[in-house]
Chains A and B, each alone.
Chain A
Amino acid sequence: MRPSPARTPFIVRLGSSFDARSWRLIGLFAAFALIAVPVMHLALPADHPLHLSTWFITLVGKILCYAIVAVAMDLIWGYGGILSLGHGLFFALGGYGFGMYLMRQIGRDGSYQSDLPDFMVFLDWKELPWFWIGSDSFLWAVLLVLVVPALIAFVFGYFAFRSRIKGVYFSIITQALTYAAMLLFFRNETGFGGNNGFTDFKRILGHPITAPETRVVLFALSALALIGTLLLARYLVRSKFGRVLTAIRDAESRVMFIGYNPLWYKLCAWTLSAVLCAIAGALYVPQVGIINPSEMSVANSIEIAIWVAVGGRGTLIGPVIGAFLVNLAKSWFTVSFPEYWLFFLGTLFIVATLYLPQGVVGLWARLRAGRRRGEGAAAGTTTAAAAKGAGA
């Protein structure tokens, strides 16, 4: 019996949202990201067997950002039943918002030694466009990262959900949205660097962006952001809000007939999911060092869905596992067998939807349940619970 949510303090409710084993796992992960990685990267000499290379830090840091996106996607798809094919847009918007700040931090070190970013000099622009005003301030950049995607998601979501667009219709419309945005950002006149986007960053808050210390800090921030996202998501899905959201996923009409208005539940989840994506995008750009419109391509957004599908929808650890599995496979394939990567990814899409409806997590639960039954344990209730967990 859980105590009534209204009387218990928030921090206790947050604490009780995970069991002890999950907290141990999170603590282990935090210790690895915040202590072990800096030590292994900075303190150990380069030829030490336990030394972590820059390549490793960048790769894992990148995947941590992807994992945040995957959890955000899972929140809206796994729990809300809304498949967005436009999450790449919010990710890229976050990246662009923070990229503007990074571009201004280059200062006069660009190849044209101008106050303006290089691409503007190239286009023969004399001053910053209005939407670049304030972009030299870090706080303003953070505000942009949070507010712009939230606003776009809110307005788009409000109209879409109000007209009760759902299912594939909604997916296709979000796809059109990100496609239109990609075309827009590809234009030089839009003022975001056109084809090439933003790159050649030099500094972040005055620190050189390629320095090992900066990398470690960014890595730690990504890890913290992922932990925060997981905690928030866990809290949300266990709350009344999350229950209603899940109910909407399973039978929207019934929820409406009971007297809830699905609009606000969906809209909240949708906007929150967009903001989480944007945060991930903002953390991603300084680590990878480039942001361009291809991040908004249709293919990228669909790939996010496959991370979630492979890991397991409707679980929180699933998307994280999926993001890691798929992206590690991608970086291995694109180095070793670039021509087979699309075969693998295509097959993954098909196999994951046909045979892994609950993803790797579901498969694991099923295997465990099967083994218990095989051992002849009379834990009928446990098996049922596991099966139920797999079906959630």
Chain B
Amino acid sequence: MYTLRSLLAICLLGISCAQAAIDPALLRPLADDDSDRRIAAIAALVEAAPEEAQPVLQAMAGDSLALAGERVVVLGAGGRVFDAASNRELTPPPAGIETIGINNRVRRELASALAALRLFSAEREVRWQAAQEVNQNVDARMLPLLDRALAVEKDPKIRDRLQLAHAQASLGSTDAAVRLAAVKTLGESSDPRVRQLLLPLTEKQGDSWREADSAVRAAAGTSIRSIEQRLAWADNLGRAFTGLSLGSILLLAALGLAITYGVMGVINMAHGELLMVGAYSAWAMQSVFRTHLSGALDWYLLAAIPVGFLSAALVGVLMERIVIRHLYGRPLETLLATWGISLFLMQVARTLFGAQNVEVANPSWMAGGVELLPNLLLPWNRIIIVAFSIAVLIAMWAILNLSRLGMFVRAVTQNRPMAGCVGVPTGRVDTLAFGLGAGIAGLGGVALSQIANVGPDMGQGYIVDSFMVVVLGGVGQLAGAVWAALGLGVFTKFLEGWTGAVVAKIVVLVLIIVFIQKRPQGLFALKGRFVES
């Protein structure tokens, strides 16, 4: 018999549609005029027949439970009527059907009762959801139900949740021993809500303690401390992660600079604008996908990676060929000329795409995150950016150390005239290396487009930071840039926790300035003897 109800039951609960009948005496009070009695009836029904109660309560929550005389009925689709107790269709439908209206209080009760019932679902995912819901709203009347659920539950994660809910429910118990056990169990949680729950136990209300039993009070104190410790730990972990993700963004911004400045000695003030070129390529790919490939819109980012790299590299090569090549050996002039290029590029972006920020949406597979602890959520977009920067780093290391171009770049860095003498085309190597650095900035821009605003001025915000990374790390190699970026990122984020974002930034800048006085060659210096660098 495929009624709407059993269909619902199969879909939602996975309970078989073969159902035993419910005692009509249990059902009748659901239609009582008094809310208190109705709530009591819901609890009684859940306790007496947890499996059969589900469809009835579902119907009640959906406003399709009704009273026909003294019989409680469920209104089905197409005007059909079923007996709530036996689940049989009533033909012909009885006369004088009155819908059972419910107020918000009853509705809340219903929701938590339904959640409690789903604890018995055969599907793990449903039970896990239900256990989480129960945790949010639990009271002493659910204890027997939780006991029963705990008896059959095998999954350790869900058991964990259930035990927590059980302990929460037991806090309302009148027996001090039960409360003590509950408080001790709750101490193992790392949920900030549990801490809120325990706090009143250690507080005074007027002159008397809210919790009369001193042993329970002491245990609550211990539990709160251990929860707080765990929370602090999770906080620090979260901060370390945001620091890591900030560091990886700094790294992406600085890696390109590590080549152009660190390796080639060219100060490129337009580096931030190369980031901007990459970010705008991501936006452009998004627009192209939206109009031509709307089915695959989620994957525009994959297309944006090569496009971002190539367009930024192209701009970089043009810059090198037209301007920078004529200024080698004059770093201060290079600085000014590239600043000019940066102003120029900014205005080009403003003319082409408008002065406003453009909107770049995260693809759906980057939404959400991984919940490590109740108060620690790692968003996917940050995780992906960390992974992406690691990939870029490895690729760059490979190019510099394993490829022929990389070998040439290193040779030119170490001794330009000598490299030229043995046949390295130094001019072309310069152009390609500059293009590579610019392309990596473009990749950084693609990554940035996912977490920051994309607009003509976006590059300006990163130029000082990325120079700081290179200066701090020391010129001439990648390892310095990596450590400096990660260190700066994590340090900044921890400092932000103490002082706020702006002060943290100022402190970091000042510390770098002081640090450079002590170690002008940065964290990692190339070893060698120079009178003049």
Contact = CB atoms under 8 A, between A and B. Distances in A.
Do A and B actually bind?
Answer: yes
A354 B326 contact: yes
A171 B332 contact: yes
Contact of B516 (A163, A342, A350): A163
Contacts of A40: none
Interface stretch (B27-35, B219-227, B275-283, B333-341): B333-341
A345 B343 contact: yes
Interface in A265-319: 298-299, 302, 305-306, 309
A272 to B, nearest CB: 20
B394 interface: no
Given A168-B332, A339-B351, A342-B344, A354 B520 contact: no
Contacts of B267: 168, 171-172
Given A167-B332, A184-B506, A346 B460 contact: no
B261 to A, nearest CB: 8
A365 to B, nearest CB: 19
Contacts of A177: 509, 513
A353 B333 CA distance: 6
Contacts of B510: 180
B342 interface: yes
A173 interface: yes
A313 B341 CA distance: 21
B464 A159 contact: no
Nearest to A303: B339
Interface footprint category on B:
35 or more
B337 A353 contact: yes
Nearest to B326: A354
B129 to A, nearest CB: 45
B166 to A, nearest CB: 49
Nearest to A171: B335
Interface string A144-179: 000000000000100110111101110111011101
Contact of A354 (B269, B327, B509, B517): B327
Contacts of B516: 163, 165, 169, 173
Contact of A167 (B331, B344, B531): B331
B434 interface: no
B207 interface: no
A252 B532 contact: yes
Nearest to A253: B531
B343 A349 contact: yes
Contact of A163 (B345, B350, B517): B517
A14 interface: no
A180 B350 CA distance: 27
Interface in A64-114: 77, 83
B426 interface: no
A253 B346 CA distance: 40
B502 A350 contact: no
Contacts of A309: 336
A163 B331 CA distance: 20
A186 interface: yes
B518 interface: yes
A237 interface: no
A83 B335 contact: yes
A121 interface: no
Given A163-B517, A354-B337, A169 B327 contact: no
Contacts of B339: 302, 349
A183 B505 contact: yes
A183 B505 CA distance: 8
Contacts of B122: none
Nearest to B532: A253
A93 to B, nearest CB: 16
Contact of B471 (A169, A183, A343): A169
B335 A169 contact: no
A339 B505 CA distance: 32
Nearest to B334: A353
A357 B334 CA distance: 12
A168 B268 CA distance: 11
Interface in B479-533: 502-503, 505-506, 509-510, 512-514, 516-518, 520, 531-533
Contacts of A187: 502-503
Given A169-B516, A183-B505, A350 B332 contact: no
Contacts of A162: 517
A156 to B, nearest CB: 8
Interface of A: 77, 83, 156, 159-160, 162-165, 167-169, 171-173, 175-177, 179-180, 183-184, 186-187, 252-253, 298-299, 302, 305-306, 309, 339, 342-343, 345-350, 352-354, 357
17 contacts: A163-B516, A163-B520, A165-B516, A167-B332, A169-B520, A176-B513, A180-B509, A180-B510, A180-B513, A183-B502, A298-B464, A299-B460, A342-B344, A343-B344, A346-B340, A350-B344, A354-B337
Closest 6 CB pairs of A and B: A349-B340, A346-B344, A346-B343, A342-B347, A180-B509, A353-B337
